[in-house]
Amino acid sequence: MSLRKWQIYHQKNIAFEKCHWMGVSAIKNPLDAWIYQEILFEVKPDFIVEIGSAEGGTTLYLAHLLDLLDKGLVISVDIDHSNFKPRHDRIITVTGDSAAPETVSEVFDHCRDGVVLVIHDGDHNRDQVLKNLNIYSALVSKGSYFIVEDGVVDLFRPGGSFGIYPHGGPLEAVEEFLKSSNQFVADRERERYLLTCNPHGFLKKSQLLQEG
């Protein structure tokens, strides 16, 4: 089976119905989840901002990783938490449009004085992803990451198993963002298992590049 066929197989037959963390649906490629634990161990964030949580399986996974590190909170940002299942002392929910001023203000207030990592798994339309990149990139600490999920949709035709964004998705947003940012670089080492849903999506905020 080719990598392309495996991606389609996983998307159609596994991701939405058979992928769980501790009994809660977690729509993830397990190889990406492994990379997340590596990044969390290295960065040791005080706050993980997760934009888009669905039922919350990945949120719970992140909280359990923070348990192992004995530090940190996960801030779940979603426009609707009615199907959100996990309850954990390290999870804070912020309900609202991720780009709305009141939501942004609440998230930034939670993340004062700490190391911040951001994961975007919300609306995958190019313009919305780019908007969130421009807003929340300021929150990411130097040496930490802004992980943009599911850029793989841009590698498949619109209307197919992945490609449901005819005007562009996360990968196009990342490419546009990187043209104007001198603070972030795509850490391609994080794609070393080849099967990733986040091509060019592991954006590391450089310790060396200048602000602005």
Task: Say how far apart CA 148 and CA 29 lie, in whole Å.
Answer: 14
One-letter identity of residue 40? L
Strands, sheet with 91-95, edge to edge from the N-terminal-most edge strand:
91-95, 73-78, 47-51, 116-120, 145-148, 202-205, 184-186
Residues 144 and 156: beta-carbon distance below 8 Å: no
Question: Cα(78)–Cα(51) distance, rounded to whole angstroms?
Answer: 6
For the chain, give percent helix, strand, coil, nearest 5. Answer: 40, 20, 45
**Do the beta carbons of residue 183 and residue 206 sit within 8 Å?**
yes
127, 131, 148 from 166: Cα distances, Å: 12, 18, 18
Model pLDDT, residue 211: 47
Does residue 210 have a pLDDT over 90? no
Determine how many CB atoms are found less than 10 A away from the CB of residue 209.
13
User: How high is the mean pLDDT of the chain?
Assistant: 93
Q: Per residue in 155-190, pLDDT tens?
A: 887 656 666 777 899 999 999 999 999 999 999 999
Count of residues for the chain? 212
Task: Write down the H helix ranges in 70-153.
Answer: 101-110, 126-136
Running DSSP on this structure, what letter comes out for residue 151?
G
Q: HSE on the CB side for 9, CA within 13 Å? A: 7
207 pLDDT above the threshold of 80: no
What is the C-alpha to C-alpha distance for residues 197 and 212, in angstroms, rounded to an integer?
Answer: 29
| Distance between CA atoms of residues 111 and 210, nearest Å | 22
- Block residue for tokens 């197919």: 160
Please give the DSSP secondary-structure letter assigned to residue 199: T
Question: pLDDT per residue over 49-81, tens digit each?
Answer: 999 999 999 999 999 999 999 999 999 999 999
Domains of the chain and CATH, by start = 3-205 (3.40.50.150)
